[in-house]
């Protein structure tokens, strides 16, 4: 489950509600010697001797699964139906959906899991297709508004003494110079800027602080210009967060982010349920109050309206918010917040709650009483009102399909209501609204079937296909299931797991990922292994994720200890990653309020949550984790699972039968022989 800070609605309200679009550079005419037919079949493009083979001489080989995928996606576009396809690594699934999308002549939204996958499509696959296949193709990339510079804020900041210290002044000068040159205004171009730049958060184009059409910089605004170009695009590349933010806005009749489109392709579709759950839910945090107070102060000062009375009101919001969030228990973690628990909380902390609500109300009243009410002030007062509504919803509503919870993490306290089941929402808002939705990922099936993912997403009617793997898994990967491992709940488990990890690392000469289902398990095993092996060990949390990954790739024999965020989206082809060790079957934590609510809902429905939800979800997670190992046809390596339940329990068979056909052993000597074979 992703963290609320990364994905919560409070951040979506700011970051993903609106878009920025960058138009791809237009391509040149086809480089292939034989022109492509006007309406090519997928075989003309992907078949043996087809268009792709001709224009990527030596760099492309026909893949049966890719052709089959393209034909299915093409058929979905032509005959207007939904399709769901499992396509393993190496299938070439990106071209497998992009080419049929282009051939459809429809405006298609392509939704990927992350911003970096968006960039990859836009910078690699799209230019190739524009060059060789579709020179007139117009493509737009759309990201959340907080990725982009607000021209108006920058102009104001240049006039005012709002910068703190020389470093900030220097960074601001660089941003100003860049703003003259950039075509996109996308902060991804500002490589010197740290991810958590405070300065950027005061300059970004988030919706909360945007004046829209009343803004004097509306025309030169990066968001405006790119919005317009988005309307001309044939393909629009978004991420799931932006897509579901848009869908949720449509639901609330708050307008929309994306221009009209007629079909959607979801890549990494296994992530849809989690992301949709965040965006159809509600959330606030202490950060949202702080940001409101900060933006209010800044706006009032810039407009020379910062009277002592008003500034006292914003200060009161800050203080009351601090007092209110301090009433939550100090321990980190995520906890249920049922109706009874919320009532008990309010009984104890009613004063802090009422004080916070009245601080917001007081600020709104003060704004309303101003004789001069510029648009910026009206917006900030409206934002305060919306936060007050959200607070009241989270404490006073009791929606049946929502689970209420709170989380304390580091300096944040997050209050949320998350839909227990998004299937009905997606059925009505997505699958019944669009006639062509294509879902693809390397991990969608459980025991070769799509029932689980289809029922979780409300996808009732779709053509489906699990494409044959491109890799020779029995040759390329060995699955090691050590004999004699105690149960993971046994006190002796950690010591035995550490022994196994040490043995495996010696056999693989480091070059391994050790993936854990919890931080505590990761830290304990790291401590137990640390002094027993000579390899450079990297530990999640000691540096940013991207830095750790780079270090892993560039350090001979490195070993990375990590948790959930490294289970997917990580690509290390070649020998540097020769072994993936997983500590236990990745069942979701049953005490997590969202998991517990989903289990309870299935029980109340007379169904078996373990078989229908917990096992299938863990199967998909394990497939993701193991999928890190074999990324190309020449990769070889060992997968190890230190959880004996896969061998002892009846459900273990479901895991085994859902994985690719790896060769399996219980014998460490065979692991050694397998890896030695690799080095020959």
* Minimum distance, C-beta of residue 207 to ligand SF4, in the bound complex (Å): 8
Q: Which stretch in 94-102, 147-155, 428-436, 510-518 sits in contact with ligand SF4 by CB under 6 A?
A: 147-155
How far CA 75 is from CA of 68, 78, 236, 264, in Å, comes to: 11, 5, 20, 14
Instruction: Rule CB under 6 A: say whether 16 interacts with ligand SF4.
Output: no
Position among 55, 102, 151, 599 found at the interface with ligand SF4 (CB under 6 A): 151
Q: Residue 77: CA atoms inside 13 Å, Cβ hemisphere, count?
A: 26
8 Å CB contact between 484 and 476: no
User: Is the CB of 221 or the CB of 292 nearer to ligand SF4?
Assistant: 221
How far apart CA 327 and CA 416 sit, in angstroms, is 16
* Minimum distance, C-beta of residue 17 to ligand SF4, in the bound complex (Å): 12
How far apart CA 245 and CA 268 sit, in angstroms, is 17
How far CA 257 is from CA of 17, 218, 231, 243, 248, in Å, comes to: 7, 17, 11, 9, 10
Q: Which stretch in 208-216, 459-467, 477-485, 633-641 sits in contact with ligand SF4 by CB under 6 A?
A: 208-216
User: Is the CB of 20 or the CB of 280 nearer to ligand SF4?
Assistant: 20
Neighbours of 202 (CB within 10 A): 20
The residue written with tokens 């899991």 in the block is: 113
What is the helix, strand, coil percentage profile of the chain, to 5? 50, 15, 35
How far apart CA 82 and CA 75 sit, in angstroms, is 10
* Minimum distance, C-beta of residue 145 to ligand SF4, in the bound complex (Å): 7
How far apart CA 293 and CA 311 sit, in angstroms, is 9
User: Is the CB of 55 or the CB of 151 nearer to ligand SF4?
Assistant: 151
* Minimum distance, C-beta of residue 222 to ligand SF4, in the bound complex (Å): 7
Q: Which stretch in 30-38, 219-227, 317-325, 356-364 sits in contact with ligand SF4 by CB under 6 A?
A: 219-227
* Minimum distance, C-beta of residue 177 to ligand SF4, in the bound complex (Å): 18
- The C-alpha R_g of the chain, in whole angstroms, comes to 27
User: Is the CB of 350 or the CB of 382 nearer to ligand SF4?
Assistant: 382
Position among 72, 221, 525, 558 found at the interface with ligand SF4 (CB under 6 A): 221
* Minimum distance, C-beta of residue 282 to ligand SF4, in the bound complex (Å): 25
**Closest residue by Cα to residue 94 from 440, 435, 443:** 440
* Minimum distance, C-beta of residue 217 to ligand SF4, in the bound complex (Å): 4
Q: Which stretch in 101-109, 218-226, 536-544, 603-611 sits in contact with ligand SF4 by CB under 6 A?
A: 218-226
* Minimum distance, C-beta of residue 185 to ligand SF4, in the bound complex (Å): 9
Neighbours of 39 (CB within 10 A): 8
* Minimum distance, C-beta of residue 205 to ligand SF4, in the bound complex (Å): 4
User: Is the CB of 151 or the CB of 233 nearer to ligand SF4?
Assistant: 151
User: Is the CB of 101 or the CB of 199 nearer to ligand SF4?
Assistant: 199
* Minimum distance, C-beta of residue 223 to ligand SF4, in the bound complex (Å): 5
How far apart CA 434 and CA 331 sit, in angstroms, is 45
C-alpha 96: how far from chain center: 22
**Contact set for ligand SF4, span 493-552 (CB under 6 A):** none
8 Å CB contact between 440 and 87: yes
User: Is the CB of 218 or the CB of 345 nearer to ligand SF4?
Assistant: 218
8 Å CB contact between 558 and 536: yes
Position among 150, 236, 257, 515 found at the interface with ligand SF4 (CB under 6 A): 150
Instruction: Rule CB under 6 A: say whether 380 interacts with ligand SF4.
Output: no
Tokens of 81: 């139906």
Instruction: Rule CB under 6 A: say whether 215 interacts with ligand SF4.
Output: yes
Q: Lay out the site mask for ligand SF4 across 163-202 (x = CB under 6 A, - = otherwise).
A: ----------------------------------------
* Minimum distance, C-beta of residue 366 to ligand SF4, in the bound complex (Å): 23
Tokens of 187: 């902060």
Position among 41, 120, 217, 262 found at the interface with ligand SF4 (CB under 6 A): 217
Q: Lay out the site mask for ligand SF4 across 329-348 (x = CB under 6 A, - = otherwise).
A: --------------------
* Minimum distance, C-beta of residue 586 to ligand SF4, in the bound complex (Å): 41
Tokens of 227: 């919005």
User: Is the CB of 188 or the CB of 323 nearer to ligand SF4?
Assistant: 188
Q: Which stretch in 106-114, 216-224, 385-393, 613-621 sits in contact with ligand SF4 by CB under 6 A?
A: 216-224
Bridge-based pairing of strands 20-23 and 139-143 is antiparallel
Instruction: Rule CB under 6 A: say whether 152 interacts with ligand SF4.
Output: yes
How far apart CA 641 and CA 374 sit, in angstroms, is 62
User: Is the CB of 294 or the CB of 427 nearer to ligand SF4?
Assistant: 294
Indicate the SS3 state at residue 151.
helix
Q: Which stretch in 89-97, 148-156, 274-282, 606-614 sits in contact with ligand SF4 by CB under 6 A?
A: 148-156
Q: Which stretch in 25-33, 215-223, 235-243, 325-333 sits in contact with ligand SF4 by CB under 6 A?
A: 215-223
How far apart CA 42 and CA 59 sit, in angstroms, is 19
User: Is the CB of 131 or the CB of 294 nearer to ligand SF4?
Assistant: 294
Instruction: Rule CB under 6 A: say whether 218 interacts with ligand SF4.
Output: yes
* Minimum distance, C-beta of residue 263 to ligand SF4, in the bound complex (Å): 30
Instruction: Rule CB under 6 A: say whether 211 interacts with ligand SF4.
Output: yes
User: Is the CB of 36 or the CB of 211 nearer to ligand SF4?
Assistant: 211
Indicate the SS3 state at residue 544.
coil
C-alpha 276: how far from chain center: 11
Report CA torsion sign: 547, 549, 553, 555. positive
Position among 72, 121, 205, 639 found at the interface with ligand SF4 (CB under 6 A): 205
Q: Which stretch in 80-88, 144-152, 321-329, 334-342 sits in contact with ligand SF4 by CB under 6 A?
A: 144-152
User: Is the CB of 20 or the CB of 566 nearer to ligand SF4?
Assistant: 20
How far apart CA 195 and CA 200 sit, in angstroms, is 9
* Minimum distance, C-beta of residue 192 to ligand SF4, in the bound complex (Å): 22
Position among 84, 140, 223, 248 found at the interface with ligand SF4 (CB under 6 A): 223
The residues with which 418 forms a beta bridge, in sequence order, are 403
How far apart CA 474 and CA 630 sit, in angstroms, is 11
* Minimum distance, C-beta of residue 209 to ligand SF4, in the bound complex (Å): 7
Task: Measure the N-to-C terminal CA separation of the chain; round to a whole number of Å.
Answer: 41
User: In angstroms, how far apart are the furthest CA atoms of the chain?
Assistant: 83
The residues with which 79 forms a beta bridge, in sequence order, are none
How far CA 3 is from CA of 62, 453, 565, in Å, comes to: 40, 22, 10
Phi-psi region of 652 (alpha: psi -120 to 50; beta: other; left: phi over 0): alpha
* Minimum distance, C-beta of residue 249 to ligand SF4, in the bound complex (Å): 17
Instruction: Rule CB under 6 A: say whether 210 interacts with ligand SF4.
Output: yes
8 Å CB contact between 15 and 146: yes
* Minimum distance, C-beta of residue 155 to ligand SF4, in the bound complex (Å): 8
Which element (helix H / strand E) includes 181?
Answer: helix 165-181
Binding-site ranges for ligand SF4 (CB under 6 A): 150-152, 205, 210-211, 215, 217-218, 221, 223-224
């Amino acid at each position: 489950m992703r963290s609320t800070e990364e994905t919560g609605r409070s951040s979506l309200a700011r970051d993903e509600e609106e878009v920025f679009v960058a138009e791809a550079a237009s391509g040149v005419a086809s480089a292939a010697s034989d022109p492509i037919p006007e309406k090519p079949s997928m075989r003309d493009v992907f078949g043996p001797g087809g268009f792709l083979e001709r224009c990527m001489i030596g760099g492309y080989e026909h893949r049966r699964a890719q052709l089959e995928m393209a034909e299915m996606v093409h058929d979905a576009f032509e005959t207007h139906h939904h399709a769901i396809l499992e396509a393993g690594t190496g299938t070439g699934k990106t071209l497998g959906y992009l080419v049929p999308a282009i051939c459809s002549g429809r405006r298609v939204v392509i939704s990927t899991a992350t911003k970096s996958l968006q960039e990859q499509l836009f910078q690699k696959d799209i230019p190739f297709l524009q060059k060789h296949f579709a020179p007139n193709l117009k493509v737009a990339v759309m990201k959340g508004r907080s990725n982009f510079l607000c021209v108006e804020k920058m102009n104001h900041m240049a006039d005012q003494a709002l910068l703190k210290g020389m470093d900030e002044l220097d960074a601001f000068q660089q941003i100003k110079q860049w703003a003259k040159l950039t075509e996109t205004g996308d902060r991804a171009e500002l490589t010197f800027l740290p991810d958590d730049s405070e300065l950027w958060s005061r300059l970004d184009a988030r919706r909360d602080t945007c004046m829209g059409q009343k803004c004097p910089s509306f025309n030169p605004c990066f968001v405006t210009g790119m919005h317009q170009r988005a309307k001309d695009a044939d393909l629009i590349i978004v991420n799931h967060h932006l897509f579901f933010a848009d869908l949720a806005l449509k639901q609330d009749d708050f307008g929309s982010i994306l221009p009209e489109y007629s079909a959607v392709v979801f890549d990494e579709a296994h992530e849809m349920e989690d992301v949709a759950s965040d965006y159809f839910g509600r959330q606030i945090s202490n950060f949202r109050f702080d940001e409101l107070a900060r933006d209010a102060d800044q706006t009032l000062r810039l407009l020379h309206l910062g009277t002592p009375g008003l500034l006292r009101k914003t200060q009161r919001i800050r203080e009351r918010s601090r007092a209110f969030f301090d009433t939550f228990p100090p321990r980190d973690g995520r906890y249920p917040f049922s109706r009874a628990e919320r009532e008990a909380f309010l009984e104890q902390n009613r004063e802090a709650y009422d004080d916070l609500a009245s601080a917001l109300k007081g600020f709104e009243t003060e704004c309303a009483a101003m004789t001069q009410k510029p648009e910026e002030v009206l917006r900030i007062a409206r934002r305060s009102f919306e936060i007050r509504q959200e607070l009241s919803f989270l404490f006073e509503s009791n929606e049946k399909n929502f689970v209420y919870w709170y989380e304390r993490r580091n300096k944040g306290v997050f209050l949320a209501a998350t839909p227990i089941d998004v299937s009905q929402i997606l059925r009505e808002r997505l699958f019944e609204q669009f006639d062509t939705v294509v879902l693809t990922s390397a991990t969608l099936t459980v025991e070769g079937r799509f029932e689980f993912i289809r029922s979780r997403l409300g996808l009732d009617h779709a053509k489906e296909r699990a494409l044959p793997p491109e890799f020779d898994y029995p040759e390329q990967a060995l699955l090691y299931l050590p004999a004699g491992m105690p149960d993971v709940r046994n006190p002796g488990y950690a010591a035995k797991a550490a022994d196994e990890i040490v043995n495996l690392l010696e056999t693989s000469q480091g070059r391994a990922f050790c993936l854990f289902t919890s931080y505590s398990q990761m830290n304990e095993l790291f401590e137990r292994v640390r002094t027993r092996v000579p390899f450079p060990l990297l530990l999640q949390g000691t540096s940013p994720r991207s830095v750790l990954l780079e270090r892993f790739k560039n350090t001979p024999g490195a070993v990375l200890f990590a948790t959930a965020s490294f289970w997917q989206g990580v690509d290390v082809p070649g020998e540097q990653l020769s072994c993936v060790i997983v500590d236990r079957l990745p069942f979701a934590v049953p005490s997590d309020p969202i998991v517990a609510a989903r289990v309870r809902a299935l029980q109340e429905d007379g169904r078996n949550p373990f078989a229908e939800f917990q096992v299938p979800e863990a199967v998909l997670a394990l497939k993701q984790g193991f999928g890190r190992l074999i990324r190309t046809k020449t990769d070889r390596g060992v997968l190890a699972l230190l959880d004996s339940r896969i061998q002892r329990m009846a459900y273990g068979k479901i895991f085994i039968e859902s994985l690719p056909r790896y060769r399996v052993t219980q014998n460490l000597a065979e692991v050694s022989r397998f890896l030695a074979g690799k080095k020959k």
